[in-house]
A and B are shown apart, each in its own frame.
Chain A
Amino acid sequence: MQPLSNLLFGMLRMSTPLLLAGMAGVLSQQVNLLNIALEGLMLAGAFFAVVIGAYFGSAWVGLLAAMLFALLFALIFGFFIIDLKANLIVAGLALNILAIGITSYLLVIWFNARGVYSPGNFEKLPTLTLPLIEKIPFLGDVLSGQGVLVYVSWLAVLFTSLLLYRTPLGVHMRAVGEHKESAETAGIAVKRVQYTAILIGGIMCGIAGAQLAIGDLTLFSDNMTNGRGFIALAAVFFGGARPGLTALGCLLFGLFEALQIRLQISTGLPPQLVQMLPYIMVVLLLIFISVRDKYRGKAA
């Protein structure tokens, strides 16, 4: 049982940034804005989590900074795609490259560090022990003792789901996504609804970045998001932009990442080959859902 509970523990840890970015992707997809920028928003969050955290010597301040700066980047993205009506894909790509450029530029300017910065003067975010659940034999090992943002990511799924399906704002969001012109005619402030979705998503991506940078270690490395924004986007496609199914997709990809790490530790397999696993699984899953949709389309 020990290896299995370890694996599942790892799955929850690895799926945390994916869940948060995935929910950000769900929100923007629901207002009909394809969000290519998840990757860059996360990277900005990760960078400022470490930098500001180190400056104030506190991971909590780092987390707050990650949320604020990712929000700022989301505002830039939103301004381009909502107000200036820029091409979604190209603007998303631009934001990702901006995040890479700015973070590696500032890394050299501020710390004279190229590639990696690990300040080591402050503690990572704390872990939480769940009372009662901790006592349950197998489940306790898996669920309890995770980093605090792991639990936040579950709340984010719940929050997204409630927001979309149980609040007036959620109804407006889905209306905008369904048919923008009708929503406008019905008196919904389309731009404001779209901004809200993008900005909430920005905050979530900031938290996702913080998990990567100060959740387990306190370290930033160039491009440390490593395609997770796009993996989260694949989960959004998998889930048809519904929070529950998307979360399932994120957990699945988190499982492959955890499996990849376990395989590296416990077998002699070359790490580069094992690291390919999550990326290949994303491609396979995208093929699977396209075949499924095609089949469904014919059946309907």
Chain B
Amino acid sequence: MNSGILSKYGTQFLQVALTLTVALVMGALVMELSGKDSVEAYRVLLVSALGSRTAIANTLLAATPLIFSGLGAAIAFRAGVFNVGVEGSIYMGAFASAWVGFTFLGLPGLPLILLSVLAAVIVGGLWCYFPGVLKARLNVDEIVTTIMLNYVAILFTSYLVNYPFRLPGLSNAMSAEVAPQAWLARLVPPSQFNASFLVAVICAFFMAFLFNRMRLGFELRTVGDNPIFARWSGMPVARVIEKVMFISGLLGGLAGASQVLGVNYRFIANFSPGYGFTGITIALLARNSPIGTLIGALLFGILRSGSSTMEIFTDVPRDLITVLEATVIFFAALEFSLTWLRRKQHATT
């Protein structure tokens, strides 16, 4: 029994290690082909991500939104819904959070923070809930709708800070500043690393609990594995999908709020460098396991925070990380079908 569990985690660990190795080798290949020193680039990346107290704090800071967005992708994927819309929820949630923060200036710190986070969670959640309803009730393809809604969210929030909530005299479109009492505590100054990281970690453990111990977790796993069985055993499949999509968007909203209350203290147009999409990569790498997602987000935190310094010192563009992400996803695409094949073989033999 025990050895079974061990070997299960063992294979999973090997799979992830193999995927990452191949991605890093691919990255090295791309660098060497374009005449860059890959060993030096990776060395600089690692040192600047982990080489000092501040560096580690910055890495955890970079990982924070990725933990949220990774969990958001993971819960949807686990239920068999290919939600690409967490990015949109990040934008909508971030603006909602900022709006509360710069509107209710008179509230004391803790209530203001809670209200701001609540707004982010509701708005972010609803932003994915809507395509979730369309998917569950009308079978509207969720990939296309969520991608379209990402564009709508990015444009709409950009409109908000360019017109009704415009700050005059600034070249970049951004909202007014959130009231200072709502700024999240910075844990390792001078790094911007802040308390939202702890919330993200708690979320990961809560999601693990939800997946494995709660009724919704059981339902969403069943819906993801075998929707027909789920329907025949009387599960409210449509309602499960809607709930899952709400939670998925809610986590995106939290990612947005973490950037507003913890880092920028305001909403900035086009602020996300694709947190939602990196979250997809992480969830795929972690095979939708919440704790795996937490670890994956930390790994990508290293890549993200190290890559800017790498770009400055070794002239290797930080876009290399995107190539690594693509490789990871290609690998995940393979394993998806491998596990599926294995299951099919089981069924036939």
Q: Which residues of A contact B (CB under 8 A)?
A: 36, 80, 84-87, 89-91, 93-95, 97-98, 100-102, 104-109, 226-227, 230-231, 233-234, 237, 270, 272-273, 275-276, 279-280, 282-283, 286-287, 290-291, 293-294
Contacts and interface: CB of A to CB of B under 8 A. Distances in A.
Given A80-B334, A86-B336, A101 B149 contact: no
A287 B142 CA distance: 11
A73 to B, nearest CB: 11
Contacts, number: 139
B317 A85 contact: no
Given A106-B34, A233-B144, A290-B134, 9 more contacts: A80-B333, A84-B334, A86-B330, A90-B329, A91-B329, A101-B321, A109-B34, A109-B317, A234-B144
A102 B333 contact: no
29 contacts: A80-B333, A85-B337, A85-B341, A86-B334, A91-B329, A93-B84, A93-B333, A94-B330, A97-B325, A97-B326, A98-B323, A98-B326, A98-B330, A101-B319, A105-B34, A108-B317, A109-B34, A270-B162, A272-B155, A272-B156, A273-B156, A276-B155, A279-B151, A279-B152, A280-B152, A282-B144, A282-B145, A293-B139, A294-B138
A87 B82 CA distance: 12
A280 B333 CA distance: 30
Interface string B102-128: 000000000000000000000000000
B332 interface: yes
B230 interface: no
A237 B159 CA distance: 30
Nearest to A291: B138
Contacts of A290: 134, 138-140
Best-buried of A91, A97, A227, A276 by chain B (most CB within 10 Å): A97
A127 to B, nearest CB: 30
A107 B319 CA distance: 10
Contacts of A98: 323, 326-327, 330
B144 A94 contact: no
A90 B147 contact: no
Interface residues of B, number: 47
A283 B281 CA distance: 25
Contact of A97 (B155, B277, B341): B277
A272 B159 CA distance: 5
B71 to A, nearest CB: 18
Best-buried of B139, B319, B340 by chain A (most CB within 10 Å): B319
Contacts of B162: 270, 272
Main secondary structure on A side of the interface with B? helix
A87 B143 contact: no
A85 B149 CA distance: 30
Contacts of B218: none
B158 interface: yes
A287 B151 contact: no
Interface string B219-250: 00000000000000000000000000000000
Interface string B152-173: 1001101100110000000000
A230 B332 CA distance: 22
B337 A101 contact: no
A80 B330 contact: yes
A227 B146 CA distance: 11
A276 B152 contact: yes
Contacts of B341: 85
Contact of B322 (A89, A104, A109, A270): A104
Given A90-B333, A104-B317, A234-B144, A273 B323 contact: no
A270 B148 contact: no
B280 A93 contact: yes
Nearest to A87: B336
A227 to B, nearest CB: 5
B138 A97 contact: no
B151 A276 contact: yes
A263 B284 CA distance: 41
B235 to A, nearest CB: 21
Contact of B319 (A80, A105, A293): A105
Given A94-B329, A280-B152, A287 B138 contact: yes
Given A108-B317, A279-B148, A286-B144, A102 B334 contact: no
